[in-house]
Amino acid sequence: MSGIYERLGVAPIINAYGTNTRLSGGIMAPEVAQAMVEASQYCVDMVELQARASQEIAAATGAEAGLVTSGAAAGVLLGLAACITGLDPEKMNRLPDASGMRSEILVPRSHRNFYDRAARALGAHVVEVGLPDRFAGTGVRDTEAWEIAAAITERTAAVYYLAKPFALPKLPEVVAAAGGKGVPVVVDAAAELPPKENLRRFISEGAALVAFSGGKAIGGPQASGILAGKRELIAAAALQMLDLDLFFEQFNPPPTFISKQSLPGLPQHGIGRPCKVGKEEIVGLLTALRLFAADTGARAERWRRLSAELLAGLNSIPDLAVESAPDGRESGIPLLAVRLKPRRDGLDMRAVARRLEAGKPSLRCNVSRAGEGLIILSPVSLRDDQLPEIVACFRAALA
């Protein structure tokens, strides 16, 4: 039991669900935590630190530039803001009043989700495109690229694209449809790491900007993220997040990060100022990104080992039937599917899930399919020493 949480009277949980924000994400590697502690003992110029981060993100993603954000949701907001304002400080100062600006964000209807609230928060309008009747069971199609091309007008600022392995239309088709008309595609790839290749994939497929979560499987600080992409858009995003309470002549950003010559003056605090990110998060994220990019399989190997040990441990409980459950994505995260065998007392999986959550310690799992008699476990946010505890939690819940 941790001293700090004990002092606060908050009991740590065992997070066998994954890197969900609600469950506080994951557990950082000691190197990342140490980097944050060290960063906290000095002051730096934040523009210079973000400019350096831009180079590291560019190297890891193949993008022209990058920005450390307070999360992927912040990255989407800042990225869409950049598409709306460009480098015009007058427009930056006016948001969320987007009147007179290109402020329509096209979203394939099957990509709609509540993170696209970022567009509405900017005063922009979400314009849904197409009708994915493949999900209704009445048809075979999703939104098609030609429909996106047809929906573009002089008011279109960007296309928002939610990256998922099953997403349609494919990103290169959307880029071809939008790019031909000069419209940038902003990719929300918050949870698409691993696989590591995805760090470069969306940029190489033509995304103008891509947002990743730093607090998911990269293993960075919970409140961190990455926005990577075109140099000018990253500069526009940075200008709308950074603290700009200074005179224009004092503002001397590294020109490869923000070209001062392109600006008539400085905007005031921008629409992204509430998405503030600290030096500790920036340094922690960069450390985590370096470890993630350098990993040649040790991380996945550890997850497989945890998963295999947990499978054996839980299968020693007579009431349970546990098997590995590849999650159908390209992530390679070895999930486990835990089923409850029929019991004489009629105890069902939903009741077991409630008992696990109410237990001491509280065990949190993916219970979205508990109605089908199934609980899903992920090793990503677990510490090695928690495996015996998890088995004990199940034993207690089934007793």
Ligand X SMILES: *Cc1c(COP(=O)(O)O)cnc(C)c1O
The residues of the shown chain that bind ligand X, judged by CB under 6 A, are 21, 71-73, 115, 162, 188, 190-191, 213, 215, 225
Q: How far apart are CA 73 and CA 65, in angstroms?
A: 19
- Rg of the chain over Cα atoms, rounded to whole angstroms, equals 23
Sign of CA dihedral 146, 228, 218, 11: negative
Nearer residue to ligand X within complex by CB, 190 or 338: 190
Give the Cα separation of 145 and 388 in Å (integer).
Answer: 50
User: Which residue lies nearer to ligand X by CB, 77 or 266?
Assistant: 77
The C-alpha atoms of residue 187 and residue 79 are separated, in whole angstroms, by 9
Separation CA 379–CA 334 (nearest Å): 7
Give me the residues paired with residue 210 across strands.
Answer: 187, 228
Q: Find how far residue 260's CA is from the centre of its chain.
A: 30
Nearer to ligand X, 53 or 310 (CB): 53
Q: Tell the smallest beta-carbon distance from residue 312 to ligand X (Å).
A: 31
**Three-class DSSP category at 125:** strand
Q: How far is the CB of 115 from ligand X (least distance, A)?
A: 4
Nearer to ligand X, 78 or 98 (CB): 78
Least spacing, CB of residue 20 vs ligand X, in Å = 8
In whole angstroms, how close is the CB of 111 to ligand X at the nearest point? 9
Q: Please identify, using beta-carbon distances, which residue of 89 and 220 lies nearer to ligand X.
A: 220
Nearest residue to the partner ligand X, using Cβ? 71
Which residues, 6+ apart, have CB-to-CB distance to 368 below 8 Å?
376
Instruction: For residues 114 and 23, give the distance between their C-alpha atoms in angstroms, rounded to a whole number.
Output: 19
How near is the Cβ of 71 to ligand X at its closest, in Å? 3
Please give the single-letter amino acid code of residue 297.
G
Q: Look-up: residue for tokens 């945890």?
A: 306
**In the complex, what is the shortest distance from the CB of residue 199 to ligand X, in angstroms, rounded to a whole number?**
15
Taking a C-beta distance cutoff of 8 angstroms, is the pair 51, 286 a contact? no
The DSSP string of 56-112 is HHHHHH--SEEEEESSHHHHHHHHHHHHHHTT-HHHHHHTT--TTS--EEEEEGGG-
67 close to 50: Cβ distance less than 8 angstroms:
yes
Amino acid identity at 267 = P
Can you tell me the distance from the alpha carbon of 149 to that of 186, in angstroms, rounded to the nearest whole number?
15
Verify cis geometry, omega within 30 degrees of 0, for the bond prior to 388.
no
Q: Which is nearer to ligand X, 27 or 347 (CB)?
A: 27
Q: State whether the Cα torsion 32-36-42-48 is positive or negative.
A: positive
Which is closer to ligand X, CB of 17 or CB of 394? 17
> The tokens of 393 are what?
């939690």
User: Min. distance of Cβ 21 from ligand X in angstroms?
Assistant: 5
State which residue, 115 or 251, has the beta carbon closest to ligand X.
115
**Strand 225-229 to strand 209-213: parallel, antiparallel, or no bridges (unpaired)?**
antiparallel
What's the min distance (Å) between Cβ of 139 and ligand X?
25
Q: What's the closest the beta carbon of residue 255 comes to ligand X, in angstroms?
A: 30
Residue with Cβ nearer ligand X (71 or 272): 71
Q: Given the complex with ligand X, which of 226 and 310 has the nearer CB atom? A: 226
